[in-house]
Amino acid sequence: MRITRGYQDWPAGSVLVEFGRTRVLCAATVQEGVPRWRTGSGLGWVTAEYAMLPSSTNTRSARESVKGRIGGRTHEISRLIGRSLRACIDMAALGENTITIDCDVIQADGGTRTAAITGAYVALADAVTWLGAAGRLSDPKPLSCSVAAVSVGVVDGRVRLDLPYEEDSRAEVDMNVVATDHGTLVEVQGTGEGATFTRSTMDKMIDFALAGCARLAELQAEALAAPYPGELPGSAA
């Protein structure tokens, strides 16, 4: 897995995350104010939007904006990313600011939603740094943990981590796991593909996934240990 921060100039946080041949661009945009239903609460908001570029797979897919409707899968993944990120941030510390994370799949080879979550956290962390430099945080450290995600499946009777499309398409069991760097679970999505699976298999898959997420958390921390990749508010000469 590779994380490139500062991939774009304009967002407060911008990350290109690469899981093998899967590449996702995650951009965190900061806006003053919150949705109408949250106005006056003193709480911030974090949300996400997910999309796949038409050429991200081997067969071109039409843009959903051209179709005039957002597909169910896109809605589901967007909401998953948003939920995952909100698990790690104190909305009161964020103040009445909104951070929107746009996750655009440049190239897909399985695990796009888990790659998006892992990259989106790093983009979120950079956006929080930007807000802190701008003096717009109620608390200087609103992030309570980091969040990462990985796919895990049973292929040919064996548990495997971070499945590429070729393995994912023939997995007997498919699971996505979102976890914090504290080792706690944010979300688990698991499905038997045409067959059932045992509790012991599920436990083994979650153990594999938690180990994978722990390693991803280390890589996120290494990436974030470098200085903020752009110009912070108030830093211009």
Band of residue 195 on the pLDDT scale cut at 50, 70, 90: confident
Band of residue 236 on the pLDDT scale cut at 50, 70, 90: low
Instruction: Point out the annotated binding site.
Output: 73, 111-113
Band of residue 140 on the pLDDT scale cut at 50, 70, 90: confident
Instruction: Point out the annotated binding site for phosphate.
Output: 73, 111-113
70 vs 180 pLDDT, higher one: 180
Indicate the pairing of strand 97-107 with strand 45-52.
parallel
Q: What is the pLDDT of residues 37-74, one digit of tens each?
A: 999 999 999 999 999 998 898 889 888 777 777 888 89
**What is the mean predicted confidence (pLDDT) over 100-110?**
96
Band of residue 193 on the pLDDT scale cut at 50, 70, 90: confident
Please state, for a pLDDT cut of 70, what percent of the chain lies above it.
Answer: 99
pLDDT above 70 (res 32): yes
65 vs 228 pLDDT, higher one: 228
| Region of poorest pLDDT, from 90-99, 187-196, 211-220 | 187-196
Number of alpha carbons in the 13 Å side-chain half-sphere of residue 204: 13
**What is the mean predicted confidence (pLDDT) over 141-170?**
94
Q: Give residue 67's pLDDT.
A: 78
Please state, for a pLDDT cut of 90, what percent of the chain lies above it.
Answer: 87
List of domains in the chain: 2-58+73-224 (3.30.230.70)
User: How far is 35 from 13, CA to CA, in rounded Å?
Assistant: 21
| Region of poorest pLDDT, from 20-24, 118-122, 163-167 | 163-167
- Give me the numbers of helices (H) and strands (E) for the chain, helices first please: 6, 9
User: How far is 187 from 213, CA to CA, in rounded Å?
Assistant: 12
**Rg of the Cα atoms in the chain:** 18
Q: Give residue 61's pLDDT.
A: 84
The total number of residues written for the chain in this structure: 237
Q: Give residue 237's pLDDT.
A: 44
